[in-house]
Structure 1
Amino acid sequence: MTSHPVIRPYRPADGPALDDICVRTAHNGLDSRPHYHDPSILPAIFAAPYVHLEPHLAFVLDDGRGQAVGYILGTADTPRFAADFRTDWLPRVADRYPEPAGEPGTPDEVMARLLHRPERMVVPELAPYPAHLHIDLLPPWQGRGHGRELMRVFLNALHEGGVPAVHLVMSTANKPARAFYDRLGFHEIETSLDATVTCLGRTTADAGRS
């Protein structure tokens, strides 16, 4: 009997798989392990706090055998999430990933600085797009329509919760990701952030047409 992939809500048992997916896709969609001394800092910033603070907005692509091979997760309210990250999440991981004393000198230190400064997520120009998201799929599962379906499920959840719009911040160098988001109706938002990142946003309405 053939098992078919399905999208389902996150379960706590998925945590290690989501951390692994994050690590294996965090370098502009490619494996981050060659680039970091301790790549576990990446899911500590971009995956684990979301399933800890807002698990109801986390959905996984299940390979049909119970194994998560992709995910989408995020928050409905970025300023609130940044505050909760500071008070609830950061104390759980701060000792493992200390903030560098001076300017970051390695990729690990750059990430540690991001970890210790959750207020960076609150960008004035993004206020009309209060939600934000992260989406990642392992390479064998990309290009098969699963990312589009994950996005549809997530946007519908936001829309049903009364959230009007969502944003994401991506590496400008990640051209395939930008093409994916463009196809899903995201548009660029001008901000004061540096040119290494691009901010995109869209309404949560009409997710079924994405």
Structure 2
Amino acid sequence: MTATLRAYHPADLPGIYRLCLLTGAAGGDASALYRNPDLLGHLYAGPYPVADPSLTLVVADERGVAGYVVATADSLLLGRWLDEQWWPALRAQYPRVQDPGDGTEDHVLVDRLHEWSVPPDPLYEQFPAHLHIDLLPRLQGQGWGRRLIETLADELRTRGVPGVHLGVDGANTGAIAFYERVGFTTYATYDWGRTLTLAL
């Protein structure tokens, strides 16, 4: 099965949403956690190719999108765009709900989209860009993750962006090891995980 790294095409968006869900539980399949399979994508994947499609790259094979990186060059600017263009319709569509007590976590994501904000942070001075990257197991360990990061980093450099950051769940030790191999270092640690940074 031949895979190809290429620029984002609008037809890729459903595949990106699907992949976001299949890797949304610290790298594992989050399908059982959400009744609505789109919520994770609404928060962590969908806005990026809509706001700036040139900073989304995909790895696709005959079975569809199997890997992607989505990014913004300016986290504060994206935050303003989200407030103006992305969140209003979703907040109207998804009113807050109570925990149904059945183990699903849709209510957590709905709360998050209602509360989402991007306050100023000293981090953004040196590392204004941020990214999300996901790969299905069938592509892992073959260099695709490194190629996605390197190709994105080249594009950010052409824009004069000094650095990029990301957040990673502390339970996702495989991802942390990968990021460290491609040059990221730990900027801060939290109860939920870490912020990692890469100077460009």
List aligned pairs for 1:1-210, cutoff 5 A: 4-63=2-61, 65=62, 67-100=64-97, 107-119=105-117, 121-122=118-119, 124-127=121-124, 128-190=126-188, 194-204=190-200
The alpha-carbon deviation at position 110 of structure 1 amounts to: 1.6
Q: Deviations over 1:142-200 (max 9, x none)?
A: 11111110111111110111101000011111100000001011011126xx4112100
Separation (CA, whole Å) in 1 of partners of 2:82 and 2:178: 28
In the superposition, relative to structure 1, how do residues 136 and 122 fare at CA in structure 2: closer, same or farther (>3 Å)? farther
Separation (CA, whole Å) in 2 of partners of 1:74 and 1:147: 14
Counterpart residue identity of residue 91, structure 2? A
SS at match of 2:146: helix
Q: Work out whether residues 32 and 104 of structure 2, in 8 Å CA contact, stay in contact via their aligned partners in 1.
A: no
Equivalent in the alignment of 1:208: none
Q: Deviations over 1:70-119 (max 9, x none)?
A: 100110000110110111011232233223589xx962222112212331
Bigger mean CA deviation after superposition, 107-116 or 181-190: 107-116
Provide the identity percentage.
Answer: 36
Counterpart residue identity of residue 91, structure 1? P
SS at match of 1:116: helix
In the superposition, relative to structure 1, how do residues 42 and 101 fare at CA in structure 2: closer, same or farther (>3 Å)? same
In the superposition, relative to structure 1, how do residues 109 and 43 fare at CA in structure 2: closer, same or farther (>3 Å)? same
Bigger mean CA deviation after superposition, 24-33 or 121-130: 121-130
Q: Work out whether residues 76 and 132 of structure 1, in 8 Å CA contact, stay in contact via their aligned partners in 2.
A: yes
Tell me how many residue pairs correspond in the alignment.
Answer: 197
Aligned Cα RMSD in Å?
A: 2.1
Counterpart residue identity of residue 155, structure 1? A
Unaligned ranges ≥5, structure 2: none
Q: Work out whether residues 35 and 104 of structure 2, in 8 Å CA contact, stay in contact via their aligned partners in 1.
A: no
Counterpart residue identity of residue 41, structure 1? L
Unaligned ranges ≥5, structure 1: 205-210
TM (norm. structure 2) is 0.91
